[in-house]
Every structure is written in C-alpha cells, then in structure tokens.
Amino acid sequence: MRVFSEFARIGPDGEPAVPENPREILSPAVARNGFVTYQILVKAPSGAQLWVGQNPEDSFQVTLYREEAGGKLHKVVEPVEIKGAEVIWMDVFVPEKTPISRIKLEPELYIDKDWVIYPMEVRVEGPTISEAATGEGTAAPIEVMRSFLCGTKLAAGENAGLTRAGLSFRNAQADLKLAASAPKTEVQRIFGACDQPAPANPETYLRIRDYLLRLR
C-alpha cells in the first residue's frame, strides 16, 4: 500500500507511470478550509479491507472514491473491499477551525487478520482558504495557474460529473485564492515563462502549491 499525489498517473501494471519517481507522501502540508486529494495504491488479495484512521479522530472530513470506466469517480464507504490491485482516491477536507498542528491520517489495510498501516502525518499550515472553491471545469491545475498569472483564457467549464480532473480543478481554484495574496512576481518565478509548454512531469505544479502553503 502506497500513497501518491493527485498528479501521479498509475499505469496498467499497477505501478506509477508518470512521473518516473513520484513524490513520497508521508508528511504533506495542507491549508485550512480547503481540500487535498491523494491516491491510495493498494495491492492485496480480494477480500482485504481498507480503512482510514485519524488521530485525533474526526479532524478531517474524508471521502473515498473508486474510479470507474470513463474516469468517473464513485463514492465508497469504509471498510472498502479491495479487489486485487487498484487505486482508491482519498479526498480530504480540512475544516477552518483545525489548529496548526500535525495530525495522523493513515490508510489502514486489514488483511489475513493483521493490519498494514501507511504512516502518514498531515501538517496543517497557517494559510486558510478564504471561501470554498466554486465552478466546474476539467482544466489541469498548471493551466488554471497560467490563466491567473498570464491572463490566458480557460475553456468553458463543463459538467462532466465527479472525475479526478474535476477534483484537481477544484483544488487549483483554491490555490488561486492563496495566490491572490502572494507576491505575484514570486509565484511567476516559480511558474516560469507564460509561453512555456506544460511540463512532462505533472507533479512540477506541486512546487507552486508548496510555496503557497508556506505563506503567512
């Protein structure tokens, strides 16, 4: 059992395909009043059960999804019955009242009367999203940030239902709310030139999010 960012792409062999060396998710930073999305990659015999533990309990609002054919996400409830090798999407909302702290958020796999636990500790940082992100779309976060920094236009939003692209678009809208109070020249420096193509490594975008989460 491993955890990856929303940007990693898992290949048909059940291993990360892009990027070649994805970021290790062990102590991720998050903002309050916002969402963060992870992928839980599980390889286990059918019948294993997936849970998500929190300490303190109920610190976050966690929703789990299984991706269906066509890219749609279907909500599942704990315990999630694992079907061999698969990805379960973990969407986490951090309440505004959450104190700046470290909180355990651990995927737990019950298998053969034993537990396998992924040791993940979330760092709740100082920034708070001013209001919940709204709007629908499927544009990649790098293009959402390009529209803010460079004035480019995004394609009209579309209601494609609940998809991984839709979650990433929502998360990027929250990033814009933090970027609005940051020095734009610094965000631009991290982003790079407006006319550069989208990077081959989609996790490159996390450098911008890392900076925004360090703001006070």
d(CA 209, CA 215): 10
Could you list the beta-strand ranges (E) of 33-179.
Answer: 34-43, 49-55, 61-67, 73-76, 80-81, 85-94, 101-111, 114-117, 121-128
Q: Where are the domains of the chain?
A: 2-128, 141-213
- The fold adopted by the segment(s) 2-128 is Immunoglobulin-like (2.60.40)
Q: Give the closest residue to 172 by CA, choosing from 140, 198, 136.
A: 140
- Which pLDDT value is given to residue 71? 79
Pairing of strands 2-5, 73-76: unpaired
- Which pLDDT value is given to residue 46? 84
d(CA 168, CA 92): 12
Structure tokens at 54: 């929190």
3-state class (DSSP) for residue 97: coil
- Which pLDDT value is given to residue 160? 62
> Are the CB atoms for 178 and 31 separated by under 8 Å?
yes
Q: How many CA atoms lie within 13 A of 128 on its CB side?
A: 9
Beta-bridge mates of residue 111: 114
- Which pLDDT value is given to residue 157? 63
User: Per residue of the chain (216 residues), what is the pLDDT tens digit?
Assistant: 999 999 999 998 888 999 999 999 999 999 999 999 999 999 998 889 999 999 999 999 999 999 987 779 999 999 999 988 999 999 999 999 999 999 999 999 999 899 999 999 999 999 999 887 666 788 999 999 999 999 999 876 666 678 999 999 999 999 999 999 999 999 999 999 999 999 999 999 999 999 999 987
Structure tokens at 209: 């999010």
How many helices and strands, by DSSP H and E, does the chain display? 4, 13
End-to-end CA distance of the chain: 34
One-letter identity of residue 205: Y
Structure tokens at 6: 């929303």
